[in-house]
A = this chain, B = another copy of it.
Amino acid sequence: MRVAIYFFICVDLSLALFEEPALFPLPFLATSIAEVICLTAFCGRLVHFASITSRVVFWKDTKNICIMVTIVLTLIDLIIYGSLEAVHIHGVRWSRALRPVFLISCPESRQIRRAFRSIRNTLPDILYVFLLFLFSVLVFSLMALKLFGDRGLRTAEGAPYFTNILEIAFELYVLVTTANSPDVMMPAYNVNWWYSLYFITYIIINTYIFMSVFLAVVYNNYRKHLKNEIRKLAYLKRHKMIEAFNLLKVQVGTEFVVKEATWRQLAKVVAPDISSSHLELLLRISDEGQKGHVDKMNFLRLADLLNIQVVTVNIKRHPLESWVPWIYQSSASLLVQRMVRHRIFVWIYDIIILINAIFIALDEKNPFISCAEWLFLSLYVMEILLKLYTYEPTAYFGRRQFWNWFDTLIIIAALVATVTNTSIQSGQYHYQQILDIVLILRILRLLRVIVSVQRFRVIVTTLMNIGPTMLTFGGLVFVVYYAFAVIGMEMFHSKVHFFDPNFTTPDALVCGNPALKGSAFARDRYCKNNFNDLASSFIVLTELTVFLNFPLLAGGFALVTHQAAKLYFILFHAVVVILVVNIFIAFILEAFFVAY
């Protein structure tokens, strides 16, 4: 059933690929039937859930109510849109922006819901800072209007400079990201040197101070929230352990205890793959006096004890030592092993990687360098074989030996890449994409240098530790992107068209929309950045997040629709960059504070 629900959520979310504006167009009837089926499935799950829980619990749960409201709204929207379509009026499918609600409400998205709750708790604090920030932008806009508005200045593109308060406010909002930084200042700066002070003050206050304050508020709230969650979890755990103790306790003398046999049974049930030596160790700790029973205090510690990682020192002999001891223990073999364990062995391989990097940088058309490629690969393979000869293989590839795995996988990837490369080149056909991936894999082998430097390993390990949290974060970003993509598609689809870059027809030069004539959007051939389907929308939103190239994108889409379209981009920046990116930075800060 769980799998079925996931399937329906995926279908429902991916419907945006087939609905107009579509990547793969399907008739409205098909997508609406699919949507109704999905809604029925969500409804069915809700009914099932209501039947197995008490009415109070069911109605108290916000997510059930959210699902119900979303289902009803979607049905209403479908009916309105369908009937308008029947009389050939084009409606807006606004309910599509609500679809991520189903993803958030499914039981496995607990982490995403927690993240949303955390954001909701941060909002009041953030809101006040944001209002103050907007106030600051407006005061600066007013100053700019008064200082520069009457001078008759012109921008590099010949447009009037700083004459409209709303345009100024937009430009200054964008200036916070420094995306338009020298350009927006130049006309004023050319008039008088002193005006640069205005812009420098603006950036210091609004970029450095306000953005730091946003980070401080988000991070502070995140820590507070985290502490609360941990406290709540610890309380719940203790509470449950006390309940378990009360169920299992027997009276011995004046105190209540749990018998050793019961304790052993319980431990076996909650941790089935625990080794018996590990279990004995835990029992020894819990039953300090060897009295044959565990008292309440020690019983409550069980959950914590089970969480402790016990490192079992592997004293297994190397398989070769048992099979061919006379060879493995020979003086030549011992010398090899000592060499491999020596520091210099690591250094030599670091130098080899460095030389390898230089060879990669050189022209690979040269046959000599092609050969060197094979030499390096065989050296790397030899290194791994030597290590496996020296260290016990199961210990070397143990579960916690991340860096050995990393090392080996990189070499295997490089090996596969080089072999593929040769076989493709010897054949007549070139697959550019495969060649590119092969190339990247071959270069990634340089990452092995990280393994040799202890401090580098610490940094990378710390970053890897936030991996699981990043998944939650990815879910959060997906939900926000999906909602913005759907709204963006409704607003901007088919306004801009992509033409092959080699086309030079007048239509292709303005992305198929005469409103773009002479704009920076068309000049820089941004036509590929459009909202004509879900995939393109996601790419545009990613670009906005990462490259902050507001001025061109927002300016272009405002030209083909209305100046108010800039609000969409400002809202996106406020939500994604101020909130989401700061959460990301807070994750990294926290990971480093814990690790260092």
Contacts and interface: CB of A to CB of B under 8 A. Distances in A.
Nearest to A204: B546
A584 B207 CA distance: 12
Given A217-B592, A592-B217, A549 B182 contact: yes
A456 B589 CA distance: 26
B440 A143 contact: yes
Interface in A53-111: none
B178 A212 contact: no
Contact of A589 (B146, B216, B436): B216
Contacts of A449: 135
Contacts of A501: 190
A139 B443 contact: yes
Nearest to A146: B439
Given A525-B186, A548-B181, A220 B592 contact: yes
Contacts of A463: 209, 213
Given A143-B440, A361-B142, A433 B190 contact: no
B528 A189 contact: yes
Given A459-B128, A548-B181, A596-B220, A146 B443 contact: yes
Contacts of A352: none
Contacts of A443: 139, 142-143, 146
Interface string A20-58: 000000000000000000000000000000000000000
A565 interface: no
A219 interface: yes
B146 A593 contact: no
Contact of A546 (B145, B203, B220, B447): B203
Contact of A524 (B125, B186, B439): B186
Contacts of A125: 596
Contacts of A200: 542-543, 546
A341 B539 CA distance: 56
A581 B463 CA distance: 22
A573 B292 CA distance: 67
Nearest to A535: B193
Contacts of A323: none
Q: How large is the interface on A (under 10, 10 to 19, 20 to 34, 35 or more residues)?
A: 35 or more
A455 interface: yes
Nearest to A135: B449
B581 A439 contact: no
Nearest to A588: B212
B165 A439 contact: no
A503 interface: no
A463 B208 CA distance: 12
A182 B585 contact: no
A209 B139 contact: no
Contacts of A589: 212, 215-216, 219
A220 B552 CA distance: 38
A360 interface: yes
A196 interface: yes
A147 interface: yes
A164 to B, nearest CB: 11
B190 A459 contact: no
Given A132-B460, A186-B525, 5 more contacts: A129-B459, A132-B459, A181-B548, A219-B589, A220-B593
